[in-house]
Amino acid sequence: MLIGIPKEIKTMENRVSMTPGAVETLVRRGHSVVVEKGAGLGSGLSDEEYVSCGAKMGSVDDAWAAEMVIKVKEPIASEYKYLREDLLLFTYLHLAADEPLTKVLLESGTTGVAYETVQLPDGSLPLLTPMSEVAGRMAAQEGALHLEKPKGGRGILVGGVPGVAPAKVMVLGGGVVGTNAAKIAAGMGAKVTIFDVNHARLQYLDDIFNGRVTTMTSTEPNIRAAVAEADLIIGAVLIPGAKAPNLVTKGMLATMKEGSVIVDVAVDQGGCVETIKPTTHSDPTYVVDGVVHYGVANMPGAVPRTSTFALVNQTLPYALQLADKGLDALRENKSLKLGLNTMKGKLTYAAVGEAFGIDV
Ligand code: NAD
């Protein structure tokens, strides 16, 4: 199959959908890959590296002329002209939040397979997980940075030093983001407590951390007591398909120490802290009641190289199936089939249909 890798053109997007190593795997399997010139530069991947792995470098038109186009972000308006009936598009689509794109995909007849709805039998979302892993680990790192005095924080070293106590870190939600945040915070020497409503998850976390973190049931009194003590709060809850619950209220903020820090990773779902609002990497924080708030909605964007490799590790096996078998891959792999959102002018994913009142 002829596969195209266009350069990402959404603002501040520096990831690329295939690394040179992934291109080599596709080429070895007998596929041809056209990479748009400069597509990998934002992730530190040169055109020469792609060529040495068997890619042909081309223009944006060449990349989009392929039978299957693999991207990172959903097509934006200037890319709509490339959508067509005989195109298989494999990328993040997030259609429920994007009516114009949904319409163009349907009108053009494009087959759209969305990373975010590929789902394993246990309900997990394998192509969203890598970005949650990145954001979780970054959350601890960003929290530690913003606890420093020049960044507006309390002037606390997360791990403490011999004779001086470490920071108290509270992680709300013990899923992928929360577990990764806890791992890094505990690794830095912090005293970490993870809150979750799912008891089985708390049992699992208690087992894997083996005493290095404390687990607590996520109830209002437990949270209220811990907020007053915390140096750093990391928000990482998710109720699939719903706005995040407000677990830290404005009232609780008044009990926090001056210069303590909140990193609410769940900000993309409205956040689990009442006073959080989305911020950007260029101006990531603001202060409410003396508490530093960090609400960057695309945290992995700051580490595009790591994020590119993390994403491609997970997407390549599915890309190979689509390249080898075309649409038969969807018949053979139920998890991949759940990624199918549009085909031949029809919506094929129920939640997107519900968002726009279209029957699926
Ligand atoms: P996940 O499903 O793996 O984990 C969510 C956890 O929250 C689950 O363990 C669940 O039991 C728990 N939870 C639900 N209600 C709770 C409550 N009331 N109290 C405590 N815990 C509760 O999800 P995830 O992959 O870890 O993602 C977490 C959030 O981070 C999502 O909103 C996701 O979109 C977001 N995210 C943001 C960025 C970013 O750049 N800001 C990047 C990746 C993910």
Phi and psi at residue 274, in whole multiples of 5°? -55, -35
How far out from the chain centre does Cα 326 lie? 27
**2-118+304-356: in CATH 1.20.1430.10:** no
Ligand 1 contact via 205 beta carbon (within 6 Å): no
Ligand 1 contact via 175 beta carbon (within 6 Å): yes
Rounded to the nearest angstrom, the distance between the alpha carbon of 127 and the centre of ligand 1 is 15
Task: Give residue 152's region: left, alpha or beta (phi > 0; psi -120 to 50).
Answer: left
Q: Which of 124, 227, 252 minimizes the C-alpha distance to 172?
A: 227
Residue 132 alpha carbon, nearest atom of ligand 1 = 43
Rounded to the nearest angstrom, the distance between the alpha carbon of 219 and the centre of ligand 1 is 16
Residue 297 alpha carbon, nearest atom of ligand 1 = 41
Ligand 1 contact via 176 beta carbon (within 6 Å): yes
From the list 62, 94, 98, 206, the catalytic residue is: 94
Rounded to the nearest angstrom, the distance between the alpha carbon of 269 and the centre of ligand 1 is 9
Ligand 1 contact via 237 beta carbon (within 6 Å): yes
Rounded to the nearest angstrom, the distance between the alpha carbon of 90 and the centre of ligand 1 is 25
> Which residue among 127, 142, 238 has the greatest number of ligand 1 atoms within 8 angstroms of its CB, and so is best to mutate?
238
- CA terminus-to-terminus distance, the chain: 29
Rounded to the nearest angstrom, the distance between the alpha carbon of 267 and the centre of ligand 1 is 10
Rounded to the nearest angstrom, the distance between the alpha carbon of 207 and the centre of ligand 1 is 20
**Lookup result for tokens 């080429």:** 27
Residue 247 alpha carbon, nearest atom of ligand 1 = 18
Tens digit of pLDDT at every position of the chain (360 positions): 999 999 999 888 999 999 999 999 999 999 999 999 999 999 999 999 999 999 999 999 999 999 999 999 999 999 999 999 999 999 999 898 889 999 999 999 999 999 999 999 999 999 999 999 999 999 999 999 999 999 999 999 999 999 999 999 999 999 999 999 999 999 999 999 999 999 999 999 999 999 999 999 999 999 999 999 999 999 999 987 778 899 999 999 999 999 999 999 999 889 999 999 999 999 999 999 999 999 999 999 999 999 999 999 999 999 999 999 999 999 999 999 999 999 999 999 988 888 788 878
Ligand 1 contact via 79 beta carbon (within 6 Å): no
Residue 244 alpha carbon, nearest atom of ligand 1 = 32
CA torsion, ordered 254, 257, 261, 263, to nearest 10 deg: -40
Token duo for residue 185:
């915070």
Residues contacting residue 61 through CB under 8 Å, at least 6 positions apart: 82
Ligand 1 contact via 202 beta carbon (within 6 Å): no
Residue 301 alpha carbon, nearest atom of ligand 1 = 40
- State pLDDT tens for residues 23-81: 999 999 999 999 999 999 999 999 999 999 999 999 999 999 999 999 999 999 999 99
Q: What's the pLDDT at 313?
A: 98
For the question of an ipTM over 0.95, the answer is: yes
Is 268 in the active site? yes
Token duo for residue 224:
């209220």
Q: What's the pLDDT at 97?
A: 80
Residue spans per domain, the chain: 2-118+304-356, 129-302
Q: What's the pLDDT at 150?
A: 97
From the list 47, 62, 98, 268, the catalytic residue is: 268
Q: Which of 1, 3, 67 minimizes the C-alpha distance to 39?
A: 3
Q: Is 33 helix (H, G, I), strand (E, B) or coil?
A: strand
Q: What is the CATH number of domain 129-302?
A: 3.40.50.720
Domains 2-118+304-356 and 129-302 alike in fold: yes
Rounded to the nearest angstrom, the distance between the alpha carbon of 174 and the centre of ligand 1 is 7
CA torsion, ordered 280, 286, 291, 295, to nearest 10 deg: -20
Is 293 in the active site? no
